[in-house]
Amino acid sequence: MSETTNGARVALITGSSRGLGRATALELARRGHAVAVHYVRGEEAAREVVAEASQLGVQAAAFGANVAEPDATKGLLAQVEAELGPIDVLVNNAGITRDTLAMRMKDDDWDAVIDTNLSGAFRLARGVLRGMLKRRFGRIINVSSVVGLMGNAGQANYVASKAGLIGLTKALAREVSARGVTVNAVAPGFIESDMTAGLDETLREAYLQQIPAGRFGDPEDIAHAIAFLASDNAGYITGQTLSVDGGMVMR
Ligand code: NDP
């Protein structure tokens, strides 16, 4: 456990100004973590999350950084540690889509998605691991996706990034799990958020047909799974990908 003033564990949740990340930050705050709320553009939204988390009686602060930029990830970790203390829990949640068929996909679309979703997650994990290993405790949770397991037309960049996160999770877990640090992934199915709000009705209906639970997920469904993986109770779970998708993919 890190040395914050109140002894709380410190969690950095990337992309927690809204959506799944916001719900995760608030759930971890509810469970007593000091939370680093992170955004790239949505400073005001992030400050609102900080205010909500603070009302739960924990330390919380907002940090802006583009996770696609190597220097920005370094700066982000330094700022969080200076303000809240060493990072015990890293949730790599920030993510973007730039959908189009592979034949039409521009290098820019590929690079932006891989840099944000995968390379950013790798750099942040690399940046927190040394401290976690030294302190013999750490939790890294990578937010992948159902499509990283099953593929999806029109999302070659996104699917590659999300499948990459599953591979990264397994590789890191093999390197660090002997020293109290677990690395896992969560694979959300179709969750109501800004990311999915733009989908047309026909596509939504088609997705719904594939979900045994008969409903789309809420951000809180993901937050609960992540909070469990971050807890002491999940200490013997590592290198795994937990699907939270209403049964959409069964392996
Ligand atoms: P949203 O689009 O609602 O939120 C994305 C978050 O990521 C925002 O906080 C945004 O910050 C942040 N972000 C985006 N780009 C960057 C960047 N370059 N640097 C730093 N932060 C960035 O997404 P969701 O909540 O829906 O998704 C969260 C994660 O869950 C993503 O990784 C997504 O791929 C994954 N996921 C979502 C599913 C869904 O159905 N919604 C399904 C499966 C996986 P800001 O507000 O400042 O723009």
Which residues are known to be catalytic? 158
Whether the CB of 66 sits within 6 Å of ligand 1: yes
Task: Report whether residue 63 contacts ligand 1, using a CB cutoff of 6 Å.
Answer: no
Q: Which atom of ligand 1 is nearest to the CA of 115?
A: 18
Mean pLDDT of the chain: 96
The minimum-distance atom of ligand 1 relative to the CA of 191 is: 40
Parallel, antiparallel, or unpaired for β 89-92 and 10-13? parallel
The greatest distance separating any two alpha carbons of the chain, rounded to the nearest whole angstrom, comes to: 54
CATH homologous superfamily for 10-244? Answer: NAD(P)-binding Rossmann-like Domain (3.40.50.720)
For 28, the 3-state DSSP assignment is helix
pLDDT at 6 over 90: no
Give me 205's structure tokens: 């209906």
188 pLDDT more than 70: yes
* Confidence category of residue 7, pLDDT binned at 50, 70, 90: confident
Ligand 1 mean position, distance from CA 117 (Å): 9
204 lines ligand 1 (CB under 6 A): no
What's the rounded mean pLDDT across residues 32-39?
A: 98
Distance 126 CA to ligand 1 centre (A): 21
Give the 3-state DSSP-derived string for 169-231, with helices as H, strands as E and coil as C. HHHHHHHHHHHCEEEEEEEECCECCHHHHCCCHHHHHHHHHCCCCCCCECHHHHHHHHHHHHC
Q: Is the pLDDT of residue 1 over 60?
A: no
pLDDT at position 61 is 98
pLDDT at 4 over 80: no
More confident residue, 5 or 52: 52
Pairwise CA distance, residues 117 & 165, whole Å = 8
Across residues 87-116, what is the average pLDDT?
98
Report pLDDT for 86. Answer: 98
What whole-number distance in Å separates Cα of residue 215 and Cα of residue 190?
9
Query: From CA 47, how far away is CA 54, in angstroms rounded?
Result: 10
pLDDT at position 2 over 50: no
Of all protein residues, whose CA lies closest to atom 2 belonging to ligand 1? Answer: 195
Ligand 1 atom at shortest distance from the alpha carbon of 222: 30
For residue 198 and ligand 1, the question of a CB distance below 6 A is answered with no
The residue extents of the domains of the chain are 10-244
| DSSP helix/strand/coil, 51 | helix
CB of 106 sitting under 6 A from ligand 1: no
DSSP for 115-180?
IIIIIHHHHHHHHHHHHHHHHT-EEEEEE--HHHHH--TTBHHHHHHHHHHHHHHHHHHHHHGGGT
Tally of CA atoms within 13 A in the half-sphere of 97 that contains its CB = 20
Ligand 1 pocket check: which of 96, 155, 161, 218 to mutate, most ligand atoms within 8 Å of Cβ?
96
Cβ of 56 less than 6 Å from ligand 1: no
Report how far Cα 74 is from the mean position of its chain's Cα atoms.
Answer: 17
The first and second tokens of residue 62, run together, are 């907002």
pLDDT-derived band of residue 56, with 50, 70 and 90 as boundaries?
A: very high
